[in-house]
């Protein structure tokens, strides 16, 4: 069990999957810069972060729902959670989190991990099982449904543990330059190329000194 002081934000999981260093810069050193991708996301979320709900027939839709898990030490908001009346023996409703994204489905698991973490929170809070979730992607203008299987749940909990380690130790991972750095809003603060060049110079210096040693 975690105390509230030890909770990490759900958004940190997506940051970690994209880049552990980005996660450390944001959630340890409080570094944040906007770019076109973050602005697009903010604009889309303005439409759902309204703390409202509506009911249509057997479907109840709750927006910007605050969620948490004391077992995993995570906290945040779910863009939308849908509750449908069901025929479950215990009378519990079918629950499905729906996350809004400005882009399109990603090749990595960053989106899925964030959605799965929301489901784990809802399961703990409501003492129910959340079997699936969904994304609405702004670029393709449609929903994509995700099955929250055992493999994804295990991967999500491992990533949560890794983020807790970074935050609790207050240690930002080293920079590793890759093509995705060009789309990162923190590239200027991170300076991945400069960090790599510095490591190379240090390696050459150490190699040179070792050759001169008796």
Domains in the chain (CATH in brackets) are: 4-173 (3.90.320.10), 174-214 (no CATH)
DSSP 102: S
Confidence tier at 107 by pLDDT (50, 70, 90) = confident
Asked if residue 139 has pLDDT above 70, the reply is yes
Asked if residue 24 has pLDDT above 70, the reply is yes
Cα separation, 203 vs 197, in Å, equals 10
Report whether 136 contacts 100 (CB < 8 A): yes
Nearest CA among 108, 101, 102 for reference residue 18? 108
Q: What pLDDT does residue 186 have?
A: 81
Confidence tier at 198 by pLDDT (50, 70, 90) = low
Structure tokens that stand for 18 in this block: 């994209």
Nearest CA among 113, 108, 151 for reference residue 133? 113
DSSP 3: -
Cα separation, 198 vs 205, in Å, equals 11
> Average pLDDT, stretch 139-163?
96
DSSP 144: E
Confidence tier at 43 by pLDDT (50, 70, 90) = very low
> Average pLDDT, stretch 111-140?
94
Burial 100-133 (b: 16+ CB within 10 A, else e): bbbeeeeeebbbbbbbbbbbbbbbbeeeeebeeb
Cα separation, 3 vs 61, in Å, equals 30
CA angle 45–47–53, rounded 5-degree value: 110
């Amino acid at each position: 069990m975690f105390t509230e002081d030890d909770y990490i934000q759900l958004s940190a999981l997506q940051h970690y999957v994209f880049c552990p260093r980005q996660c450390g810069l944001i959630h340890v050193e409080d570094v944040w810069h906007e770019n076109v991708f973050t602005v697009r996301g903010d604009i889309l979320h303005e439409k759902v972060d309204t703390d409202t709900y509506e009911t249509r027939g057997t479907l109840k839709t709750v927006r910007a729902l605050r969620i948490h898990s004391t077992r995993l030490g995570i906290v945040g908001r779910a863009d939308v959670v849908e509750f449908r009346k069901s025929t479950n023996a215990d009378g519990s409703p079918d629950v499905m989190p729906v996350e809004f994204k400005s882009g399109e489905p990603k090749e990595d698991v960053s989106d899925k991990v964030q959605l799965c973490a929301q489901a784990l929170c809802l399961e703990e809070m409501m003492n129910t099982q959340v079997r699936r979730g969904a994304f609405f992607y702004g670029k393709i203008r449609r929903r994509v449904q995700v099955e929250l299987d055992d493999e994804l749940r295990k991967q999500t909990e491992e990533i949560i543990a890794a983020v807790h380690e970074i935050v609790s130790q207050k240690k930002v991972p080293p920079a590793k330059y890759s093509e995705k750095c060009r789309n990162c809003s923190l590239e200027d603060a991170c300076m991945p190329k400069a960090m790599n060049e510095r490591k190379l110079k240090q390696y050459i210096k150490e190699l040179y000194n070792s050759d001169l040693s008796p």
